[in-house]
Amino acid sequence: MKSKITVFGSTKDEIHIGCKALSNGLDNLIRKSFGENVLIQHISHRYLSQHFNDALMTVNKTTVRKNFFKKQEQFCVAKDRSYDMWLEGVKALSEKDTFLKLTLLNSDIVTINVEGTIHHNSLLGHQMLAIGAFAVQLGKPVYWTNVSVESENEAILKHAFRGAKKIAVREQRSFDYLKTMGVNPTLAFDTAVSATFLNDNEVLDNNLPKEPFCLFTGSNVKNIDLIEQARVISSFDLIPLYLPLGLNDYNDLKQLQEENIACLDYGDVSFSQILAVIDKAKFVVSGRHHLNILSLLAAKPFIAHKSNTWKIEGVLELLDYEYNFNLDMESQISYLLSNYTFLQTKLSSKIEKAKKMALNTFD
């Protein structure tokens, strides 16, 4: 009988090129580690159990004096993110979520794909941790993959990771963070480096500028003036070409299109073609973790922006790749062009290391 592996937190069906590369690489690593014929079931990272959500609900009552003679009670519904309430959430999953319980019981191995979910006490992050704890309770081998974690409840983290088969962390800062808690993570690398890309450089050239261009994108935190960024890129005699990654880039895409700035649209390039696109660019400017990873694979010098967590800094530090978020864009581009060959050589030397580290995800 074929083994069945269930991937929770899957981003396989997302439009995001980076998520598709990560998911493809994760599937490749699963088959490499557990056999080509293994059955892989993907459960979306958007899955939210109502039972877990309800368990965290608390009703706070306050009394407000309307005037000297009259008081009024007000009720506020809030989600309690404490360790005790998280334990109630784990209990609710085990007792009430039939779909989750049956899915876990019918899995030989459980993989939990974290990516950017576990940070700053997010609801989906706490549910992901609860699913991992529940799977361990059921005696299932649990592999945590593509882990980045920041500013979380220490008691919840330590409980959730207890008993896991492996905790594969994809960048340096999260690795160090967990080590300080006494958690035993493994330093791996983002599974996007294990994806299968086209080898023939087949790219839809009609979607790319004929002149030299710079591929650029924004950040999750949406604090970058992309129009100004495009202007600075243009001042170096390069065409700025915007690449939207996720659906949260839609408004940025429309704004740049209205300003007649060259843009790739959703679906113009598949994840398997993206390395060929990056290869044709002069360099990359990116506030997105996966575009940085893909630039590494193409050995293409890039300028990184800060994101909503420290995952970008963690990867850059793991690669020993220089960055300065406070330096203005013109100075950063000037530095990159002045040190282009050095940066390209450094990235080239890190590719095989990153791919070997990704093998630590399961092995």
Q: Tens digit of pLDDT per residue, the chain (363 long)?
A: 789 999 999 999 999 999 999 999 999 999 999 999 999 999 999 999 999 999 987 655 555 555 655 666 555 556 788 999 999 999 999 999 999 999 999 999 999 999 989 999 999 999 999 999 999 999 999 999 999 999 999 999 999 999 999 999 999 999 999 999 999 999 999 999 999 998 755 556 778 999 999 999 999 888 899 999 999 999 999 999 999 998 999 999 999 999 999 999 998 999 999 999 999 999 999 999 999 999 999 999 999 999 989 999 999 999 999 999 999 999 999 999 999 999 999 999 999 999 999 999 998
pLDDT of residue 46: 92
Q: Which distant-in-sequence residues (6+ apart) come within 8 Å of 16 by Cβ?
A: 245, 246, 247, 290
Cα 284 from Cα 233, distance rounded (Å): 10
pLDDT of residue 67: 60
Write b or e for each residue in 341-353: b if 16 or more Cβ atoms lie within 10 A of its Cβ, otherwise e.
eebeebbeebeee
How is the chain split into domains, by residue range? Answer: 4-49+83-194, 205-350
Query: pTM of the prediction?
Result: 0.92
Whether 4-49+83-194 and 205-350 share one fold: the answer is: yes
Cα 107 from Cα 230, distance rounded (Å): 48
Q: In the structure encoding, which two tokens stand for residue 116, read together?
A: 């950017």
Of 273, 276, 212, nearest to 240 by C-alpha is 212
pLDDT of residue 221: 84
Cα 85–90–95 angle (5° rounding)?
120
Fold of 205-350: Rossmann fold (3.40.50)
Fold of 4-49+83-194: Rossmann fold (3.40.50)
3-state helix, strand, coil in the chain (%, to 5): 45, 20, 35
